Structure 1
């Protein structure tokens, strides 16, 4: 019987949504692992829209669910429809959208909060002892999901993001882009991807290893 994995996206594009490479690599890895995947996203406006050619904020609004549908080829559902009992594992790719649309870490730092629907979904998997995979900047949310003592990585253990979540009680480990960190007690898997990756191959290798472990745990 195929494992069923939910993937929460945060839009489409590294600067204001889900990092497309990370999301697609995760989806391909899940498919290769024989998993049945369903994508979800909050049905909300993006924090802002960034011109990915210039890096400048644009004077327009976009919807996180609508933009994430680009990555999911339209096969996506509102996050409100995600039910933990229907799935064996959960994955959250990175990109600035994870820190802007799924939580407000990008603007609030250590004072950040995770969106209530994102937090509810992730905590449901944690409480059910089902594996969760967090990629790139998404592991900042681990301390909100699991509480103090959670083990995760953001790549460089001394970076600002790592210091911020460490102050909240997380144990943040250093990790190369082509590896991942496992919190065996909590079944939490994290990989830094483009937090430290210098190439697409480095990011892909770490994500592929993490996904293979996630599917094995599911």
Structure 2
């Protein structure tokens, strides 16, 4: 029986939403492995909108759920409708949207909070003992999801995000771009992706390994 995986995205575009390469690689690998996938996103306004050509902020407002629909080809649901009993695993790709729209990590660092609907959904998977995959900057949310003592990676130990993770009570483990870090006690798998990747192929090397491991840890319905 195929495994059912929920994927939470944070908009569309690396600087203000979900990292598109990471999101597509994740969805592709899940499909290649025969998983059934449903994308979710919070129905909230983005923190801000970035012109991805110039890197400058734009004077407009966009909705995270609507922007996520660009990547999901319209097949996305409000994360409030994510019910853990319908899925075997959860994966969060990265992008600044994780730190801006799914949380305020970009502004608050170690003092960050996670968007309430996203946190409730992720904690439900953790409580149910179902595997979670966190990609790129998404492991910055791990302590809020699992509590102090959780182990994950943001790539380099010298990265300020890794230092913030440890300040929150997490354990950071350095990891190369093509590898994963697994916290067996929490069924958490993480990989650096574009925290370290210099190409889409490098990003895919770790993401594919993460997806494969999350599916191995998942118990199918």
TM range (shorter): over 0.9
* 1: CA distance, partners of 2:128 / 2:33: 22
2:200 maps to 1:200: yes
Match of 1:157 in 2: 157
Task: Mark the runs of 5 or more structure 2 residues left unpaired by the alignment.
Answer: none
**Offset from partner CA, 1:170-204 (integer Å, 9 cap, x none):** 11010011111000111000000000111111110
**Offset from partner CA, 1:52-72 (integer Å, 9 cap, x none):** 000000000000000000000
1:101 shift after superposition: 0.2
1:57-206 to structure 2, matched below 5 A, reads 57-206=57-206
Q: TM-score, normalised by structure 1?
A: 0.99
1:110 shift after superposition: 0.9
Q: CA RMSD in A?
A: 0.5
- Which contiguous aligned blocks of 4+ residues in structure 1 show a shift greater than 2 angstroms? none
**Offset from partner CA, 1:135-170 (integer Å, 9 cap, x none):** 000000001111111000000012100001101111
1:127 shift after superposition: 0.4
Match of 1:50 in 2: 50
Q: TM-score, normalised by structure 2?
A: 0.98
Task: Mark the runs of 5 or more structure 1 residues left unpaired by the alignment.
Answer: none
- Between the two proteins, the alignment pairs up a number of residues equal to 218
* 2: CA distance, partners of 1:182 / 1:68: 28
* 1: CA distance, partners of 2:195 / 2:202: 11
